[in-house]
Structure 1
């Protein structure tokens, strides 16, 4: 039996679609955030706190960060798979990036729900 050799990050349509969906989520959030920022009378801490006091903006911001981290994960993973050939180094880099992104997600949640 011949075992296929997987070379590169050939995940195909699923990852292509995930990249596009996360990009659209981030673009929509950017428009919503810009509308909120432009509609504020001043840039005081109280105004910014008011924007994030409601559940919608906290959820939208958290969704933005999750989309950003997933988008980054797919891109970095594909770059590592295409350009880093030694499996041990690639696995180490994948692990470090995954743990960092998970940590950043927890940090974002902590910041958003601490306000």
Structure 2
């Protein structure tokens, strides 16, 4: 893939993920504004609903992809020392992977308990 195509691909990923994130966050805001769970058990039951769990399981990697493209672009633009840039990209990659695994575990655990 050429360098220009990778820039276009990053742009497409950023925009496509932003659309889903905006729609899902609007759904969450509306749902919790009008039907907030009374306690943790009610929240767990709500997360255990297959469509909600699927939406959340899709939300996590899309959020991480969106964040990765954004952080990568900022680091490429503003961190000029190659070693520092690679170190920061590696650090963010580990943080994002760990966060994604933690989120998947939380969603799956809540789904199993509900």
1:78 aligns to what? 73
Q: Distance in 2 between matches of 1:41 and 1:81?
A: 41
* 1:23 equivalenced with 2:50 (yes/no): no
Shift of 1:39: 4.1
Question: Highest Rg: 1 or 2?
Answer: 1
1:36/1:51 contact within 8 Å kept: no
Match of 1:91 among 83, 86, 89: 86
What is the root-mean-square deviation in Å for CA atoms of aligned residues?
2.1
CA distance in 2, matches of 1:50, 1:101: 27
Aligned residues: 108
Query: TM-score, length-normalised on structure 1?
Result: 0.82
Q: Is the 8 A contact 1:84 1:90 kept in 2?
A: yes
Return the match for 1:13 from 8, 11, 27: 8
CA distance in 2, matches of 1:71, 1:107: 18
1:68-93 deviation per Cα after TM superposition (whole angstroms, max 9, x unaligned): 11111101111111111111111111
94-103 vs 53-62, which moves further:
53-62
Unaligned runs of 5+ in 1: 1-5
Higher helix share: 2
Identify unmatched segments of 5+ residues in structure 2: none
Map 1:1-115 to 2 at 5 A: 11-40=6-35, 42-115=37-110
